[in-house]
Structure formats: structure tokens, C-alpha cells
A and B are shown apart, each in its own frame.
Chain A
Amino acid sequence: MIFSIRTSNCVLQTLLKNYGMFCPMLRPQQLPTTFGCFLFTTPYQRAKSVDPKALHPAAAMWHSKEREEGKGERRSGKDWSSPRPFNLFAAGASKKRAVLHDAFSSGEQPIISSKKMTLSPPERPLSAEEWEKMMGDFVGTKKFEDCMFEQMIVHNSPVDVAKSLLAAVAKRDGDIGYGLLVKYLVLCVSQKQTKEIYDIHDIMKVRFKTLDTSGSSLLIKGLSDSQRWREALILLEEMKKVIIPSKGNYGDCIRGALANQEISIACKLFHEMLGKDVTPKLETMQIFFDTGKCINDASFKSELISILNYLRDNQVYPGEAFMQSIKQWFESIPGENWKGNLTPVKNSGQCPSCEKFLESINLSAEEYDILKNKIIKDVIQGTDTFRKTTPQELEVFQTFVSQRPPFDIVIDGLNVARVCHKNNPSQTLLDVVNHLAQQNLRLLVLGRKHMLNGSRQWNRNNMAAMQKKADFFFTENVSEDDPFLLYATLHSGSHCKFVTRDLLRDHKACLSDSLTRRLFFKWQRGHQIVLSNYTPGKRIKFEPVLNFDTIVQTTGDTWHIPYDDNLLERSSYEVPTKWLCLQQK
């Protein structure tokens, strides 16, 4: 058995490597050895293809190189790559930067922690005496059966081998502990042994009054795919008494309900989990769309549209597989004639496939006000105004800003000055200020008081030259300057942009609720100018600001859905660059 799994794995791996195709699968090595979390989740809420790196680091490097080359080729033909010049918030940017900025690029293989294999499970069922013999040879701190079962799970042994061990234990003790049963259940669920799952379920019901979380989760997972899926719902109800079930538990029950065409139950569960602030897995939402293809029902259609709105409201981006399901569902709606295309979007914000412009990144007036007040309340003042500044300083700054006409650009002096290590910081800042001043923009430069002391780094002449071209505000040396930057930009109005390379993640984290955080991120993407290229005395280049919002959006007869590429790792402060464009012909 193992042999066959391994080979098929190898084949799949090579397929994956060569064609980058996506197929979710379990590798025996990946089966979790902890039972509390037998729920296959991935970070960032997206399905991840199996990482070839895990097996062949060298191959992975070659693979990525090939992709890079491929990108180049494609760019000359069809523009599949992310919009260039490269945007700070485009998915994969931080990964790229990490490579670029690596002073010591490590070509070494990752250190694989080799766990000592103390036991290897037998290939065939053993008799009680043979097990006894094995037990006698075993030296370890834990109990033999537990160790053996864990190894069986790792090796994905046939259930009969596990059964024979259970039989041996039952013969010896006249009873089998709950822990062993749960471990056996892991094996049965991962191999989809429905009959065994039924049996264990019945035994546990008789023997134990309640189940623990891992036992319930496994049973829910196992029963959901079977004829007795309704019993999974009962187990879920039991769980609710003590704790809030996980997204996996809900997801399994919903899967069971949808597989048996019980739409109303699935929808009820979905709304219930949203009500409890449990974030649904992308796979769960995908199943809704997959089911929708075969069901033509107006109320279910509105359910699916509400899922799309959920994605929009929570800035969740579907993965590639989910996106395909959405596309197929739209195209399967009879009489509506939807057509889906995959496309990147130009910087102008115009979708190449349907010529429509995407939503603007600018905030509405009330959103703007909410954000401004929150920034003052949470980021600048926080729990204690003295942490980032002082009340007096804040007041001085507020009057300073309000007495001047609105600015066009606010510059984070210290951040910009340190862009180029070889150059004198005051010289760098002077160059940037001059460059921007030529365009007749009203500038504000924020700095700290030590810049005025006149040192080698902060040349007095340079400072004086700058102060002719721009307004300056110097904070105390122990104050933070970023909050002032945010305040000044917001105060000047929505036309005002700010220049810094800082990703402002810590300030975003100060905001109290997720809605404001999303607003902040949106505003940041639309108002932050990044100095992408600076050569002293020669060129100064800024990254263009995106003027469309990367979010699931509709105009009624079109849908635009940004999605995550399977092979590109996206950080939480980046947005996808690929889009699904759906239009009604």
C-alpha cells in the first residue's frame, strides 16, 4: 500500500513541478501527528499546492528560475506578470525584496530535522503474542501502543495492522483507552474507512458520555462524507455546549449537507459560523459554488452572491481553484450568458478584457472621516499620549498644520534620507525635495530635532537649502514621527500623498477594529509614494500609485474578482495582481 502511495506521489510531484498544476493531496509524511488539529488548514486562508521545495530544494530553485524566465518570455508576448513598474503592495513583492536585499543569499539546503524513528509499524496484522514480543523489545518513555499508533499514522499503515494491535490490547487489558481509539480514528478518517468510523462512533457513544474536541472533530470529518452525515450535525451541537467549534468542524458539516443536497441546512450553518466570528475556509465557500452548478434556484443564487459580498467586505481573496469554481458557476447560470476571462489589470485601472474601469481607491467622505479620527485616537494618542509624543507637541503640530494651506506631499525625512547608504543622508533628502519642488508641489518634511544640530550627516547648508523649498516640522528626538506623517497627510485631504518606504504595519496594528484596519490599508495603497530607485545625482524614480482598489466588485452586469496565484506567496500586507473578469454578453 505504502509503496503505491509513494509512487503515485512521485508522479504527482513531477507533474506539479513541470506543469505547475494544482492538486490537493495528502502525503503520508504530512499527516499530522498531533490529534488536536486534524484539520488541514493553510496560512492566509488559501489552498497551497504541495511545495516541491520540501523534497528537492535544488529542484525548487531551478523551478523558480524557470518561472522567472518564463515570466520574461510571457511579458514580451502576453502580459501575465504583475503590473510593472513593480508596486509595493503587489502580491509577492516582499518575497522579491527579500531576495534582492539578501546580502548573503543562502544557497544551502534547509536543515531538515531528522526525527529518530524508534519504531516502524509491521506490514501485516500481528497476533497478540507477536505484539507482546515487540512490546518487550521496546524501550521508551511513552507507552508502546501510543508510539506504535503514532508511527502507523505517519506511515499510513493499513487499518488491519492497527486493528490487530487493538485486538492485542483488548485481549491483554480487557479494555481499550480513549486515547488509542482516537489515534485509530485518525487512521480510519485519513483512509476513509467509513464502516470502521461508524463502528468507532457507536462504541464511543456507548462507552463515553462525551467526547473531547479532537475525537469530535475526527468523527465529524469522517461522518460528513458518509451516509450517516446527519449524526455529524448532532456531534456539532454537542461541541457547541462547551466551546465554539472550529472552522474545520463547520466546514465538514457544511460539506456533508451540500453533498446530500440539503441546501437550507448548509446555509444555516454558514450563517451561524459567520455569526460566531468564525472565518470560513476558502474550501468551504468553494463547495457552495461547486454545488451551485447543478442547482438552479433563485434563493441559492442570492446565497452565493452574499458569499461574494462577504469576500468583498472582509477583503478575502479566493485562491485559483476557488476562482475557477466561481467562474464555472457564473458561466453555468442558464439564460444569463456570463463569460469569464483571466486578466491582469493595467495601472490605469482599466480592465483589458471588458474595458471597464475598476473601483477607485479613494475613500468616501465618511470613510475618510472615520479613518482620520481613528488615527488620532488609536495611533497618535492610544492609551497614553506620552508613549509616542506629548500632548504639548501634538497641540503644536496640530496648530502648525492647520495654519498652513493643505500640502500636496508629506515626506518622512528620516526614512527618505536613509534610502541610499552610500550617500550623505541630508544630500539624499535635498535631492528628493528638489525633485518634487520642481513640480510645484507644496511639501512638508517631517524630521526629528537632532537633524538641526549640524553634524556631518546633517549638513547645515543642505538643511537650509531644503527649508527654502518645503515646510519643515521637527519632532522631539524621543517622539515617533510616523503618526505625525499620517495625521498631516489625512488633514490635507484626499489629494495629498506621503513619501516613505515604511510599510506602517505597526501603526496599522494599533487600530482597534478590523474595519478601520482595512480602510487604513486601502488609504495607504492609494496615498503612499515609494521611492523605488535613487542614484545620487542621477535618477529619482517613484513607484506609481495604484488608483484602483483590489477588491471583489460588481457593476451588476460585470464582476471583477482578484485571486491568489497558487505559486506566488502573498504577504498579508500585499494584494493580488491577477483578476477574474466576468461579463454578461
Chain B
Amino acid sequence: MLFPRMNILSMHLLNAVRRSVFQLAVQDGMKRGVFLVMPSKVMMHRTLFLSACLNKNTAPDTTEKLDLDGWKHVMRTAVQEESSEGTSDSEEDSRVAATRELIEMWRLSGKAVPENISEEQLKILMDSPTKSSKKKYLQFLAKKENMKKAAKEKKKQKAAKTEISPEAQDYVAGELKNTFLLKFWSRSEDAIYNWRAAQAMIFGQPLVFDMDYENCMSRREMENAVKQLMESEGINRRGKDPFHLHYCNLKTGGLYHKELIRRYGDAWDNLFVTVTEKAYNEIFPRDQIVYLTADSPNIMKKFEHDKIYIIGSLVDKSIQTGVSLARAKRLNLATARLPLDKYLQWEEGAKNLTLNQMMSILLTLKDTGDWKDALQFVPRRKHAGFMEMSLSKDQIDAWKKTKMHERTVGKEKSHRSFAGNSSRWQVQKKWWEDVS
């Protein structure tokens, strides 16, 4: 039974009531109370009885305010946020200001954007051509910012944990011990590594990084490449028997050079690495050079100690097939690729590895010559384990077939190439025979 007093109900509120009534009818016939209050502070109290059975959960006596549009009033009376107005009216400045405002609004709407953005980053952002590239870059910056924050937080917590009470400190300092060595600092470690690196500079086997890929890379890829190079150099320095690294074709003042100097800082001039603008074919005899590239038709059988291996320092996230092979072809150099398929049950991902992975693999090969040992540096997500060398070819084929089956069943399949693909399962004598 309803006792409405229409004369003071706005149509809108009536709608609200109707809707809820309708829903009650549809739902479960529970008894509910809807209390509506007008700004004029006239109290309305209505109770609905839709069924004979009373629900014990609702207390019909409670009087509540349910003012649905009140928030609008709250919002309107709130003051507009003050934002710094750029005084200059030039086109460029207004664009910068507008971009900053857009970022701020994106942040308010809960998108992944950084809180602080530097002038340099803003310039990069303005130069990105599309909306999606802008968003991607902002997302990247936001991620970076979050990681920095998290690291800071961790540091704080660690500092709080390791704070030793003063009396305990005295105790530690007061205790005298007999030791054969002073505490072994990382300084001494560095000295040892540097001696080794210096030795390698004189007697070591050369390993060349070909730095001639500046114009094949985007800004992000370039930064990643420099990071990987630094990792490789570090891995090499810590190795038992380091290579003598050469950075060839490194243009002074080029993007690569600038980025390396920016990342290394003062350490750049103290590196035990040969950096040169010359090409590798000017420094080494051509018949000793082997260019390592995943596109090469030749499989590397074993590591040879009298060869000079070349790694193209290229990060190609958009897999650029044949770029490094083309370079080797131009200079008529020998090429080779790692025997990944021979030793690993490859599952997914491209067969081009990162520079630091290559470095680790080559160092291990140089020390032990054991492929299994060396290929442990291939990311585990890319393969299902090592090949049992005793397996017959048929068994391998059968395994591959089941793999294919597992992969295809229960998935929406992509369009296959028109040429049937079962040829993929035939044992390939030569890699190119099925490519047409």
C-alpha cells in the first residue's frame, strides 16, 4: 500500500521511487523503506508493503536522508582548482601548458602517468606523433617512477631495520679479534678484475661489438642496447679469462657514443675496452672474422680460439630480419649462428638473444667448450629443456608434433599460410629449402 504525497514530490524523485518499486517487484518482494527529503526539510516517511510476510532486516522506523542530487551542489560550491597560468602567450608555451594539463587530467582519471615530468621528457612526449605513442611513453615514465619510489621505500625500511642500538655498537667495536686478513672490500675485488681486464687487453682473444646500428634503432631500443652493453662488459670483466672487447664503428659524437658517456659517466675513460671508429675488417684479417647472427645459414659447431667473433649491438624489438646478415654479406665475411635447435627444445620467442646473454654464452664456451653448459644462459621461458642427444629423428618429430598439437588445440587459431605447414615437421636438411 502506498501513501504518496505527490504535491511535494518532484517528478524526478518519483521516478527514483518508481524504479526502486519496480525492482522490488521484480526481485524478491522484500519490504524496503525509501525515504526522501526535500531541501525544504519536509520529512516524508513511506513504507512499502508488497507482501504479507514481513522482513525483519529493515527497520521501518529509521529515517534517513537520501538526497540523490546533493553531491552536485557540493561540487558546484567547491572552489575551482588554481592552476599556474603561463604568462607568455606564444604558441609553443601554450602547447606545453596544454600538454601538462592533459597529463594532470589523465592522472586524475586514474591513468598511468607520472606525477613529475622533466622538461626533457616533456619534449620527447610532444615529439611523439600519435596519441597511442604518447600514452605508451607516459606509461613507461609512470612505471619508472613507481619503481624508483618502491626502491626508496625499501631502502628506508632496510635502514630502519639495521639501525643498531648504540650500546650494541660499542660492544662490536670493543671486541678485538685475531684475523689473518683485513675485511675484503669490493675495492680489492675491482683491482683484481681490472688487472685481468688489462691482461686481456694485451693477450686476450678479441671480441667485437659492431656499433654500426644507430639508425636501425628507436630511442628506447638504443637505451636498452647501451644497458645490455654495460651488462656484457661487466660480465666479461668478472670472467675467468676475459675477452679483449672492441667497440668498432662507434661514431664519436653519435647517439650511441653520447648515450654510453651519459650512462658510464667518468668511468667511460677508464674502461679496459678498445673503442674505435674503424671497422672490424680494417683491424683484423678477414679470414679470421666470424659474424654471429641468428639469420646465418651456418651453424656454429664449436668455439674456436683463433677466430674473432663479432656481435651486432642491435636491439630489434621489431624483429628486423637480415639486417646483420646483410652487413656480413656486404663485407663478405663468414657468419654463424648458435646451434639452439640442436641442443634445445625450442618453444617460443625469437632466437635472437640479448647482448649480455651472448656474452655469457661465449665466455662459458671459451672456458669449457661445453654447449650444454653455455646454453643455460638462454632464457628458460624460450625452451622446454635440453635435447636428449640419443633421441632419434622420429622421436624428435613426434615430440614436435605433440607440441604443435598442444599449442593449437583449444585455441583460436590464426590463419595459416596457404602453403600447408606440415612441411615444417619434416626434417630440414637445409634451413632455406622450405622457404620460398
A residues with CB within 8 A of B: 1, 3, 35-36, 88, 94-95, 97-98, 101-104, 106, 108, 110-111, 123-125, 127, 129, 146, 158, 160, 163-164, 166-167, 169-171, 174-179, 182, 199, 203, 206-215, 241-244, 246, 384, 386-388, 390, 412-415, 418-419, 421, 448, 450, 455, 457, 477-478, 481-482, 500-503, 530, 571
How long is the Cα–Cα vector from A174 to B79 in the complex, in angstroms?
Answer: 11
**A208 with B81: in contact, given A127-B64, A242-B99, A419-B419 (CB under 8 Å)?**
yes
- Chain B residue nearest to A4 (CB atoms) is B26
- Interchain nearest-CB distance for A366 vs B (Å): 32
Contact B109 A179, beta carbon cutoff 8 Å: yes
Tell me the chain B residues, 142-164 only, with Cβ under 8 Å from chain A.
none
How long is the Cα–Cα vector from A370 to B201 in the complex, in angstroms?
Answer: 55
Offer 8 A-B interface pairs, CB within 8 angstroms, sorted by A. Answer: A127-B66, A158-B19, A179-B109, A210-B98, A241-B95, A246-B131, A478-B297, A502-B417
How long is the Cα–Cα vector from A199 to B70 in the complex, in angstroms?
Answer: 12
How long is the Cα–Cα vector from A106 to B408 in the complex, in angstroms?
Answer: 8
Which single member of A36, A127, A174, A477 contacts B432 (CB below 8 Å)?
A477
Tell me the chain B residues, 61-81 only, with Cβ under 8 Å from chain A.
64-72, 74-76, 78, 80-81
Q: Which 10 A-B pairs have the closest CB atoms?
A: A414-B436, A212-B105, A386-B326, A170-B71, A178-B108, A415-B436, A179-B110, A163-B68, A170-B74, A387-B326
Which single member of B101, B327, B413 contacts A210 (CB below 8 Å)?
B101
Chain B window 416-435, contacts with chain A (Cβ cutoff 8 Å), 1 for yes, 0 for no: 11111111001001101111
Which single member of B66, B78, B83, B415 contacts A164 (CB below 8 Å)?
B66
How long is the Cα–Cα vector from A214 to B327 in the complex, in angstroms?
Answer: 47
Contact B76 A203, beta carbon cutoff 8 Å: yes
The answer, yes or no, to whether B329 is at the interface (CB within 8 Å) is yes
- Interchain nearest-CB distance for B39 vs A (Å): 13
- Chain B residue nearest to A108 (CB atoms) is B410
How long is the Cα–Cα vector from A166 to B26 in the complex, in angstroms?
Answer: 25
Contact B410 A160, beta carbon cutoff 8 Å: no
Chain B window 18-38, contacts with chain A (Cβ cutoff 8 Å), 1 for yes, 0 for no: 011011101100001010000
Residues of B within 8 A of A455 (CB): 429
Residues of A within 8 A of B105 (CB): 178, 208, 210-212, 215
Contact B419 A146, beta carbon cutoff 8 Å: no
Contact A478 B329, beta carbon cutoff 8 Å: yes
Contact B434 A418, beta carbon cutoff 8 Å: yes
- Chain B residue nearest to A571 (CB atoms) is B415
The answer, yes or no, to whether B411 is at the interface (CB within 8 Å) is yes
**A206 with B16: in contact, given A164-B68, A212-B109, A478-B432 (CB under 8 Å)?**
no
Residues of B within 8 A of A246 (CB): 131
The answer, yes or no, to whether B102 is at the interface (CB within 8 Å) is yes
Contact B111 A212, beta carbon cutoff 8 Å: yes
Tell me the chain B residues, 364-415 only, with Cβ under 8 Å from chain A.
405, 408-413, 415
Beyond the given A110-B412, A387-B322, A414-B435, please list 13 additional residue pairs across the A-B interface where CB-CB is below 8 A.
Answer: A97-B416, A175-B78, A203-B72, A206-B80, A208-B80, A209-B80, A212-B105, A214-B109, A246-B131, A386-B325, A388-B322, A450-B430, A478-B325
- Interchain nearest-CB distance for B9 vs A (Å): 15
How long is the Cα–Cα vector from A446 to B280 in the complex, in angstroms?
Answer: 36
The answer, yes or no, to whether B195 is at the interface (CB within 8 Å) is no
Contact B102 A125, beta carbon cutoff 8 Å: no
How long is the Cα–Cα vector from A421 to B322 in the complex, in angstroms?
Answer: 28
- Interchain nearest-CB distance for B136 vs A (Å): 12
Which single member of B131, B421, B433 contacts A213 (CB below 8 Å)?
B131
**A125 with B20: in contact, given A209-B83, A209-B101 (CB under 8 Å)?**
yes
- Chain A residue nearest to B131 (CB atoms) is A243
Contact B20 A124, beta carbon cutoff 8 Å: yes
How long is the Cα–Cα vector from A278 to B87 in the complex, in angstroms?
Answer: 34
How long is the Cα–Cα vector from A124 to B432 in the complex, in angstroms?
Answer: 67
Residues of B within 8 A of A158 (CB): 19, 23
Contact B70 A167, beta carbon cutoff 8 Å: yes
The answer, yes or no, to whether B106 is at the interface (CB within 8 Å) is yes
